[in-house]
Amino acid sequence: MSASLAKWRRPFGNFVLGTVVVGVIAGIGYFIFQKSRVTNDSAEMEADHAHEPDHVDGTMPARVSREARQNLGLNTKAVAPEDYFRRIELPGLVVDRPGVSDRGVAAPIAGVVSKIHAFPGSMVAPHAPLCTLRLVSDTIHTAQLELFKATKEIEIARQQRQRLEGLAASGGVAGVRMIELENEIQRMEVAAHGYRQSLTARGLSTEQITAAAQGDFVTEITVRAPGEPLPLPNANPDETNNSNSIPSFFFEIQTLNVALGQQVEAGAILSVLADHRSLLIEGRGFRKDLPQLQQAADLRLPVEVVFDSNDHVAWPENQQLFQIEHIANVVDPTSRTFAFYLPLANQWRSIGTETNRLIWRFRPGDRVRIFLAVEPLPNVFVLPTAAVVREGGEAYVFRQNGDLFDRISVHVVHEDSQSVIIANDGKLRKNAFIVQNVASSLNRILKAQMASGTQTNLHVHADGTVHEAH
């Protein structure tokens, strides 16, 4: 029995030993498999991190397709360092030039409006008729009657003198009588001259006065526009400044203050004529701005003026050189500001085919922004305000690299409502193409791509090959 038991134990031991060996081998293989799997996962994670954008140096790319650039209206431009003047911004307003821009036309005599020749918005030449008044003044009628009587009496006295000259020569008439007759003629001529001057002062023309002296009395008077306009100080005489010039000067009827059948007194304003060829820009500054304004006025420095109206497409380029003409010597007690003035040469054009109606580019009441240079900033980059986006204390611009736009952190030296001044500290290179207008939109696109995990730092060629952005 012992021999048979020993015979049975030998194969069983071999089986157990083989099982142990197989288990050890399987355990070693599983350990190697797990370690290689961890190694591969680590390698994949490292590879994934290798494609993430660099968040340390401030340069991060955003991918923008051609269609997206067209939808955004994206505009890029090569930049270069330049010398720039730091500017202060002051508000301004287009105003009439006192004593030149507006002219009132008054009724020379009392009368009733019987006809209106020119209406608001119309253009009238110098001496053109404005309205007709039917005379109701007894003074005018009396002056015409006395002028007629004096004229006729002068004619009668001269005829009498002519008849008596022959008798006086033969001694038939005393010489004293001839002297008295001559003095009487002179007195009547003086009276007639006075009546003529009175009628002239009341607006009657020379032809009308001559007709009244012959008995053809004037019952209506036509009020006309003034003569040639006043000379414009510092005006631009070059009519090429206008897109559609008219051949000669015209007044514009700005307001009409009467109606048909209305009775007006002598001196009443019938209408107001406008001459807007030359206007003024009235700027406003505080006391702290006075030294800079005085320096600009003394040195005749150019001043930049930006008009709020966006009409530069419909008009020729305005090439005026703005300079301060004078500074007011009084301070407004309410706003605590003082005024300063810049001449403004206007532009005009006719409406359609009508030459008697004009459109002025600049109008009294238009708001402007005045930029005054005060301090030089040499060797800096000048960008539009829309080219820079801010996040907290950081400021970024975007540099184009094919379909990629690299976000670059920059140092802002100065900014106003129009421009942002960037320090030339090596962040931007000369002739780099920088986005000029939609930096905030590109920044939102970049954030969206980062949040979605989209790889933005790959550049795709037309043949399908890719490489990292550079």
Question: Which of 236, 271, 306 finishes a domain?
Answer: 271
Question: Which of 357, 374, 391 finishes a domain?
Answer: 374
Name which residue leads in pLDDT, 251 or 172. 251
Q: What is the DSSP secondary-structure string of 22-87?
A: HHHHHHHHHHHHHHHHHHHHHHHHHHHHHHSPP-SSS-EEEE--HHHHHHHT--EEE---EEEEEE
pLDDT of residue 380: 93
pLDDT of residue 42: 45
Which helix (H) or strand (E) covers residue 292, if one does?
Answer: helix 290-299
* Burial degree of 281 (CB within 10 A; 0-12, 13-18, 19+): buried
Same domain, 253 and 136: yes
Same domain, 222 and 302: no
* Range from 22-26, 212-216, 397-401 carrying the lowest mean pLDDT: 22-26
pLDDT of residue 36: 54
State the CATH number of the domain containing residue 384: 2.40.420.20
Same domain, 132 and 253: yes
Residue 110 lies in a domain: yes
Residue 55 lies in a domain: no
Residue 248 lies in a domain: yes
Tell whether the model's pLDDT for residue 65 goes beyond 90: no
Same domain, 154 and 238: yes
Q: Tell me the pLDDT of the chain averaged across its residues.
A: 79
User: Which one-letter DSSP state was computed for residue 362?
Assistant: S
- Is 82 in contact with 382 (CB distance < 8 Å)? yes
Same domain, 233 and 119: yes
Calculate mean pLDDT across residues 308-317. Answer: 72
Same domain, 328 and 399: no
Q: CA 391 to CA 377: how far, in whole Å?
A: 25
Q: CA 322 to CA 305: how far, in whole Å?
A: 7
Residue 232 lies in a domain: yes
Same domain, 154 and 109: yes
29 token code pair = 């293989």
Residue 250 lies in a domain: yes
Q: How far is CA 221 from the centre of its chain?
A: 43
102 token code pair = 């507006």
Beta partners for 62?
A: 405
- 0.85 exceeded by the pTM? no
- Is 106 in contact with 380 (CB distance < 8 Å)? no
Q: What is the number of structural domains in the chain?
A: 4
Tell whether the model's pLDDT for residue 70 goes beyond 80: yes
Same domain, 174 and 221: yes
Same domain, 223 and 132: yes
For 88-123, give the secondary structure using H, E and C. Answer: EEEEEEEECCCCCCEEEEECCCCEEEEEECCCCCCE
* Domain hosting residue 282, numbered range: 90-98+276-374
Same domain, 195 and 66: no
Percent of the chain exceeding pLDDT 70 equals: 75
Question: Which of 374, 407, 430 finishes a domain?
Answer: 374
- Is 374 in contact with 88 (CB distance < 8 Å)? yes
Tell me the range of 44-48, 207-211, 224-228, 406-410 where mean pLDDT is highest. Answer: 406-410
Q: 138-170 and 206-213 helices cross at what angle (nearest 10)?
A: 60
Tell whether the model's pLDDT for residue 440 goes beyond 70: yes
Q: 202 in helix, strand or coil?
A: coil
User: Which one-letter DSSP state was computed for residue 188?
Assistant: H
Same domain, 368 and 402: no
Same domain, 254 and 131: yes
